[in-house]
Structure 1
């Protein structure tokens, strides 16, 4: 009996060693890789730096120096509700990853029970059969083919994708907040232009009235001045409405109830640098968090193929139970028991269900490959478009600045000539309208310069930072 017991132990030890050896293996899945071959340059004529340095390496507070804008962005990264949802999703997936990782390890459960069963076979004797037990069970599924490891890899990729998606959302929100702020400043500048123009129109109307009443001009000139004053006044409510809507939009981005937004009276003039570091196209794969997120989703789809593939093979579960069991409570501690079992469960015929799941996972992976390639192509297109806009907005601004100077000189000359009777009031009106349009156009051109810089910064992957990530999310990342 002793020799037989030792032989049994040897056999169990050998089987256990084989199981451990097999569980260290994983069945490979051969799938096509995504195409990430990119052009050497974004734009052939771009005179910016083409090395690995990129302006996206700068923090957003270094790009946006306006302190009021910095306050808007900081509030956005702290309070935006979509960002809060993304961070909660990270914590959810981090917990799910722990669930998937725990499946690789043995599970231990305990049971304490007492029961009393009565028996009366044939109706001759009524007999009680009590039983008391205290047991612990260890159960472990041997990951022979890598099924559980594929599931764990899938969960880890989903978590990393959520982290990168949260950073991509940061990037988008920073750009959206900046561009909305620039639009708000431009609207306030236009409102100031309209108010100053309206004051000038009223002064012109007063002068026209005096000249008419003094018999120096016809009534037509006076009526034209009144009409132009009224026309200018119609701009005010429309601009105020747009300003209120933009402030509400910025408040929503900031995750706050609608309120007035503190802003600069007018953005100081600045010239865009002729050369900016944009890096090589290949750096986009590292810098843009939306690409990194899609890459992790591609890995998750690959792992799902592995899960579906290995689901078709048998699964081995080992169970060991040990403890105490006795019919009499007084002899409970003197009655140890043990139980060992191994179960092999595998599909025999399931009407093609597992094969269908495998093919579906393959198709999903093919879609993930195409989606990843599409994200890369779209990112490259966004950078190329941003560079093209960047190279032209400074030229447009210079043209508007020159037009504004000439229109102002023309208007001042026309007013002097009108007072001296050299020209009619229509000439003054035309000159005033041209100057008004030039001032508004110059303000919008300034906004376009700021927006072009923001668009290029966004396209290159700038605007996200680990420093902007909440403490809870950082803790979840550290656990990974």
Structure 2
């Protein structure tokens, strides 16, 4: 009769605790559609395609051999990435412990005693037992702990991937920044050489009393030359600082960075971002946020399992020469077995509080997952729009540069003919210099938009 009652209690508990055995499934109310906008369509509808720019290996996106070498160095030596790899190893240790929790715990506990009463002959007793204890996880305690440890490892791997993606993007952006600054420095020095020759020519013209050149015009030409020369140290300092920052990112002492030229950079110009659902599998921060939700889900299940009985089997086996008050030699084999069932009675209120807290934390993790997904969609939308707008700006800037160049040449020709002032020549040259500098910046912005889109789509994953 007692056995029947025990079986009925166990069956009832099992039926009422089916939920604690269920593995994590993504909530159905998580929004995964319409996460990013089309940069040109009026209705904001982005046509989905099967390919995804973020799926390309980073070597196919960044084809400059020197940039590839820098990225490889960063992936090998960056301290943040090495720390993330160690975090994976740290997360794997609790997982191993959770798996071993299913195995009985064994211990060898040898004991020996020598005793004598009132100077009598000493009696020697000993025992050589092996003890074992095994928790039977009928109500999901060990199961949810193991599953929680598994998602913790996945979360650590996602974090490591996020760091890797960030390193690739940062190295590429800093490299392109150096190329931009190199080109701006080159343009500035070329302009300074022109202005220097112009100032010398103006000085000679004043001395020869040509074209009514006076000292004011000469000083204006010298001032324009000095202004351009004053901007060169700022550019050189920016180059030095970016080189130092990039060296630090690469895990090495500050040093000069070998690099190419901005004109020879070739980046993809046709993009496909795939369906929004791909962000769930590609973006490491989105994966990490979902693993955090899964971990909270298993914590809630563990809190539920605390309401159910805990069954433990334990026993020992070995040899001893102590049989009660008698000592027998040689020793005899001894074995014991104990089964215990522990049902929480006085911790019901505490368990309820833990369950409520776990449920609240699970809802928080769900909201964080949804927000991370929305942020990812926003980043993709911004990167798409940034590339589109910069492409339009580059075309307009090219027209400006061509017009400014022609205006500078024509104004100088008019000055030589005596129908224009040198102030107009200086103004035209300054406009041409400004247009060239802006054109280089626009080219860099367009390259940076490609990097941002690749990063936003979760590019740079393990190959």
Q: Same fold (TM over 0.5)?
A: yes
Report the alpha carbon displacement of residue 194 of structure 1 after superposing the two structures with TM: 1.2
Of 293, 296, 321, the match for 1:298: 293
Q: Which residue of 1 aligns with 2:340?
A: 343
Report the alpha carbon displacement of residue 297 of structure 1 after superposing the two structures with TM: 1.2
Structure 2 gaps, min length 5: none
Describe the superposition over 1:183-215 as per-residue Cα deviations: whole angstroms up to 9, x where unpaired: 111111111111111111111110111011111
CA distance in 2, matches of 1:95, 1:25: 32
Shift of the 112–271 alpha-carbon distance from structure 1 to 2, 3 Å rule, reads closer
Q: Which residue of 2 aligns with 1:246?
A: 242
Report the alpha carbon displacement of residue 112 of structure 1 after superposing the two structures with TM: 2.1
CA distance in 1, matches of 2:30, 2:304: 26
Tell me if 1:85 matches 2:83.
yes
Tell me if 1:319 matches 2:314.
yes
Determine helix, strand or coil for the equivalent of 2:110.
strand
Describe the superposition over 1:300-333 as per-residue Cα deviations: whole angstroms up to 9, x where unpaired: 11011111121233312111100111159x9766
Q: What pairs up with 1:367-386 in 2 under 5 angstroms?
A: 367-386=364-383
Q: Which residue of 1 aligns with 2:402?
A: 405
Tell me if 1:264 matches 2:255.
no
Shift of the 406–126 alpha-carbon distance from structure 1 to 2, 3 Å rule, reads same
Contact 1:386 1:455 in 2 (8 A): yes
Determine helix, strand or coil for the equivalent of 2:130.
strand
Tell me if 1:176 matches 2:183.
no
CA distance in 2, matches of 1:361, 1:271: 48
Contact 1:161 1:297 in 2 (8 A): yes
Shift of the 170–346 alpha-carbon distance from structure 1 to 2, 3 Å rule, reads same
CA distance in 2, matches of 1:389, 1:403: 20
Determine helix, strand or coil for the equivalent of 2:277.
helix
Q: Which residue of 1 aligns with 2:103?
A: 105
Structure 1 gaps, min length 5: 1-10, 468-480
Contact 1:184 1:247 in 2 (8 A): yes
CA distance in 1, matches of 2:444, 2:316: 73
Q: Which residue of 2 aligns with 1:28?
A: 19
Q: Which residue of 1 aligns with 2:435?
A: 438
Tell me if 1:362 matches 2:359.
yes
Q: Which residue of 2 aligns with 1:4?
A: none
Q: Which residue of 2 aligns with 1:190?
A: 184
Contact 1:167 1:289 in 2 (8 A): yes
CA distance in 2, matches of 1:400, 1:229: 25
Shift of the 315–108 alpha-carbon distance from structure 1 to 2, 3 Å rule, reads same
CA distance in 1, matches of 2:263, 2:330: 85
Contact 2:129 2:319 in 1 (8 A): yes
Q: Which residue of 2 aligns with 1:133?
A: 127
Contact 1:23 1:143 in 2 (8 A): no
Of 410, 421, 424, the match for 1:424: 421
Determine helix, strand or coil for the equivalent of 1:234.
helix
Shift of the 136–350 alpha-carbon distance from structure 1 to 2, 3 Å rule, reads same
Describe the superposition over 1:211-232 as per-residue Cα deviations: whole angstroms up to 9, x where unpaired: 1111121111100011011111
Tell me if 1:462 matches 2:459.
yes
Q: How many residues are treated as equivalent by the alignment?
A: 446
CA distance in 2, matches of 1:269, 1:435: 24
Tell me if 1:43 matches 2:37.
yes
CA distance in 1, matches of 2:283, 2:249: 21
Of 280, 289, 292, the match for 1:285: 280
Shift of the 198–225 alpha-carbon distance from structure 1 to 2, 3 Å rule, reads same
Contact 1:321 1:339 in 2 (8 A): yes
CA distance in 1, matches of 2:413, 2:249: 49
Contact 2:35 2:377 in 1 (8 A): no
Contact 1:48 1:278 in 2 (8 A): no
CA distance in 2, matches of 1:156, 1:137: 30
Q: What pairs up with 1:88-237 in 2 under 5 angstroms?
A: 88-119=86-117, 128-216=122-210, 217-237=213-233
Contact 2:176 2:262 in 1 (8 A): no
Contact 2:136 2:311 in 1 (8 A): yes
Contact 2:129 2:316 in 1 (8 A): yes
CA distance in 1, matches of 2:18, 2:268: 55
Compute the TM-score of the two structures, normalised by the length of structure 2. 0.89
Shift of the 271–66 alpha-carbon distance from structure 1 to 2, 3 Å rule, reads closer
Q: Which residue of 2 aligns with 1:74?
A: 72
Report the alpha carbon displacement of residue 48 of structure 1 after superposing the two structures with TM: 7.8
CA distance in 1, matches of 2:422, 2:128: 107
